[in-house]
Structure 1
Amino acid sequence: MSEGPVAGRLAGKVAVITGAGAGQGREIALLFARAGAKVAGCDVDTASIEETRALAGKEGLDLDLSVQDATDPAQMAAWIDGVAARHGGIDILYNNAGSARFAPFADMSLDDWHYTLKLELDIVFVPTQAAWRHLVARGGGSIINIGSIAGMRGAQVVQGFGNSAHATGKGGIIGLTPQLAAEGAPYGIRVNTISPGPIVTQASSAVIESNPAFRELFEGMTPLGRTGDPVDVAYAGLFLASDESRFVTGINLPVDGGATCRVGVAMKC
């Protein structure tokens, strides 16, 4: 797994993280706090937020956590305004929250299509718009979106799991990023996307364990010979959030073990 020194890399910064209750969002929240940031995180799930709070407490980290719906403009505006008031501003917005439904294109219902686009596109648009003026007032900052390699290239349908809606949602995030980078540049706002590949999280573990064909595909994707961990994504986020990346904006960074650098997947014969 990725590792390295973190102390002080985000000292004095205020970071807002959506989807901080589990998986990659939880890892980001803890890593950013270890790096010295004041971290405000939200999630729709109360139990997961409390678990993140408990894990932070064991390390002596004080996270500002609450239950919020990142697709609700009124909730996001009130929450982000409150974070800025409590902590003196906002420097980092990490758009981690999201959800998707999967089916072959021919079987995808319009409801599932709309659900996925709301929970992958609206869920980035709404917090970003709420945070934008605070970043402008701060004199700049870093917005980090979570895309996916699913938004970069197609994938075969494996036992009923099709990517059409998910690919569209994540492709939209990848496309939105350089536009926001261009609009944010005059204000010192940098905007970048991280596109994870095969990362083992609580959500993906359930599918991997229940679907042997998917597991074989998932575990054969990377030339590096292993699947990824949320901390692998978190360290990329730490770089993009820090002043180490002050000349980096408008990019899509795959964190995928090399999955997108080759054609095909290693499958057992």
Structure 2
Amino acid sequence: MKRLEGKVALVPGSGSGLGRAAALRFAAEGALVVGGDTDHVSALQTQRLIGREGGIALNAAKLDLTDPGSVQVWAQEAVDAFGGIDLLLAHTPTARGAHIEDQSFDDYTATIRSQLDSVWLCAKAVWPHLTLGDSCIITVASAAAVAGSPDRGLGAQAAAAGGVVSMSRQLAAEGAAFGIRVNCLSPAGIALEGAGPTPAEAGGCAPVGRAGRAEDLLNAAVFLASGEASFITGAHLVVDGGWSAVRPG
């Protein structure tokens, strides 16, 4: 039996990068995937890729993760189609990096809104529809939450990532009585098609000597979403090839 067999999984940003990789992997593990993206055409392409592999996917209308109404409609479409929600991968790809002397307040607030507020909006939208006793939210923060970098302007991203980590623990505390598990992944050095650092750049960051791959992060996500992790909630797992354990930079 596949590890996510029959689970209804919501994956934002499914048109590219981590979102597309997650949608494809979750579908391969047996999940019924509900994608969504501001780029509706790319999200439809992901849906077709899943279908070609024999998976099942629904692509909602254009999804804006910073718009409460858009996120609510997305969650409701999943419920209308499949009757409930079992899994949310709450991640956001957008960040505007700069050192503090160069970063505008608009860029700072845009990053917070994109990377922190959107996670809260997604969690709030799915919360009433989660399958009680057997559901989970996996948030995606960043290793910037646990280590600073003198040569990269990560102030806004670090603030947002730290907020996601703390929010995840609080949601885990609130959801425990209902069987809702919430865990957080913090990646760094993951090279993704069309997003993130190049393999050469990412490989130079990690003590393990290679770039991270989407499957490195998604292996952890699938484990946390599966029954194998039924006693794990409120956890924060850094997936960065040892970067944050050795040195900042």
Say whether the fold is shared (TM-score over 0.5): yes
Match of 1:200 in 2: 191
Matched, 1:92 2:87: yes
Q: Which of 18, 21, 34 is matched with 1:24 structurally?
A: 18
Could you tell me whether the CA contact under 8 Å between 1:191 and 1:250 is conserved in 2?
yes
> Could you say which residue in structure 2 is the equivalent of 1:219?
203
**What code does the residue aligned with 1:181 have?**
A
3-state SS of 2:119 partner? helix
Residue correspondence of structure 1 range 34-49 to structure 2 within 5 A: 34-49=28-43
* 1:249-260 alignment, distance < 5 Å: 249-260=233-244
- Partner Cα separation in structure 1 for residue 127 and residue 56 of structure 2: 25
Instruction: Note the C-alpha offset of 1:140.
Output: 4.2
1:190 partner SS: strand
**Contact 1:33/1:63 (<8 A) preserved:** yes
Structure with higher Rg: it is 1
SS at the partner of 2:112? helix
Residue 68 (structure 1) aligned with residue 60 (structure 2): no
Q: Which string of whole-angstrom CA distances, capped at 9 and with x for unpartnered residues, describes residues 19-62 of structure 1?
A: 11111111111111111111101111123212312322332222
Match of 1:132?
127
Question: d(CA) in 1 for partners of 2:89 and 2:67?
Answer: 17
Deviation track 1:103-149 (CA, whole Å, cap 9, x = no partner) reads 111111010011000000111010100101111x5344100000110
Aligned partner of 2:170 among 179, 192, 199: 179
After TM superposition, give the deviation of residue 237 of structure 1 in Å. 0.6
- The CA deviation string for residues 52-80 of structure 1, in whole angstroms up to 9 with x for no partner, is 12322332222111321122111211221
Residue in structure 2 matched with residue 119 of structure 1 by the alignment = 114
CA distance in 2, matches of 1:259, 1:80: 35
- Residue 214 of structure 2 aligns with an amino acid whose one-letter code is P
Give 3-state SS (helix, strand or coil) of 1:114's partner.
Answer: helix
Unaligned runs of 5+ in 1: 1-6, 210-214
Q: 1:97 to 1:13 in 2, by over 3 A?
A: same
What is the CA RMSD across the aligned residues, in angstroms?
Answer: 1.7
- C-alpha separation between the residues in 1 aligned to 2:77 and 2:44? 20
Which residue among 5, 8, 19 is the counterpart of 1:11? 5
Q: What are the Cα deviations for residues 172-217 of structure 1, in whole angstroms up to 9, with x where unaligned?
A: 1011111111111011111001111100122224xx49xxxxx65x
State the match for 1:169 in structure 2. 160
Percentage of identical aligned residues: 40
In the alignment, structure 2 segments of 5+ residues that lack a partner are: none
Q: Is the 8 A contact 1:89 1:138 kept in 2?
A: no
Query: Quick check: 2:149–2:248 contact (8 Å CA) kept in 1?
Result: no
Verify the 8 A CA contact 2:132 2:180 in the aligned structure 1.
Answer: no
Please give the TM-score of this superposition, normalised by the length of structure 2: 0.93
Choose 187-196 or 53-62, whichever is displaced more.
Answer: 53-62
Is it true that 1:233 corresponds to 2:217 in the alignment? yes
Partner letter of residue 97 of structure 2? F
SS at match of 1:79: helix
How far has the Cα of 1:264 moved from its partner? 5.6
Alignment length (residue pairs): 247
Give SS of 2:247's match: coil
Distance 1:264 1:175, change over 3 A: closer
1:257 alignment partner, SS class: coil
